[in-house]
Amino acid sequence: MIRHLVVVLGDQLDAESAAFSGFDPAQDVIWMAEVDHESTKVWSSKPRTVMFLAAMRHFCQVLQTRQWPLVYRELTHDAAIWRGSAGEHLDCAGASLADVLTRSLAQLRPQRVILVEPGEWQVKADIQAAVIAANVDLDIREDTHFLCTHDAFAAHAQGRKQLRMEYFYREMRDHHDVLMEHGKPVGGSWNFDQENRKSFGKSGPPAHRPPRTFAPDSITRQVIDMVERRFADHPGDLSLFDWPVTAADAELALHDFIEHRLVAFGDWQDAMWTLEPWLFHSRLSAAMNLKLLNPRRVIAAAEQAWRAGR
């Protein structure tokens, strides 16, 4: 009998996730599923779908190295296959995440489902409905990647006639002691927005090093091939796909940004130039959104560079 079925969503790829707190490989099983609906409910570009699925499959490998029981639904170009310790079987039904979970709950019959709170309201509601319908206990845990909890934000918002990012930002800076000295913001100001809007002028951007790229490995190439066939009518070009899809590569991307572009990002973060897709930007947000990279790590790296005079 399965004690806990730990559901890991495609944007919760954190090896230190709260979902794994108390995990017992002798009693518990991890559940992950690739589903078409996540790319079609809101029309998704091919590169976005590849990044999600390639990152999921690489994270699956991380879990397997721990020898933790895992059931994983993998899309192929024309069907889906469940892979796990109990073997493999075909799943041809093109269903939503909640539909697939409903069938798994009926087959696996866990005592409880554990889930880190989804970032999308509808996904949370759909999973809750599926678990309740299966008469299974549900434990929804806080997503610790966020620097502010629901309760903390509610307290911040209480009594305010307007919600402004500026005031929330200050509160978070102070609470987490980010670029603060003796209770005041370093540099004597909470923001330097006016200095972040410089233009390149007629001469264009100065010489700069483009972001580090990550050539697709065999897993990512399989995903690219599948997406090209299964989602052929979706927009996007995969010929130059080079995004980080593992935590290790996301860390390398962070290091590359801190070393080569952070110093100029402040001045020109809003500037654009023809045929320059990245300029001084980091290309880190996708990795953070998938939880491959913790925002606290990014904040700390940027602050450390400033304190080192860089």
Could you give the CA distance from residue 219 to residue 222 in angstroms, rounded to a whole number? 5
The pLDDT of residue 192: 86
Report pLDDT digits (tens) over 33-66: 999 999 999 899 999 999 999 999 999 999 999 9
Q: Shortest CA distance to 13 belongs to which of 48, 61, 46, 49?
A: 61
pLDDT at 92 over 70: no
Beta-strand relationship, 29-33 and 4-7: parallel
pLDDT at 278 over 90: yes
Q: 67-76, 88-97, 198-207: which has the minimum mean pLDDT?
A: 88-97
pLDDT at 229 over 70: yes
Farthest-apart Cα atoms in the chain, separation: 69
pLDDT at 255 over 80: yes
Report pLDDT digits (tens) over 121-131: 999 999 999 99
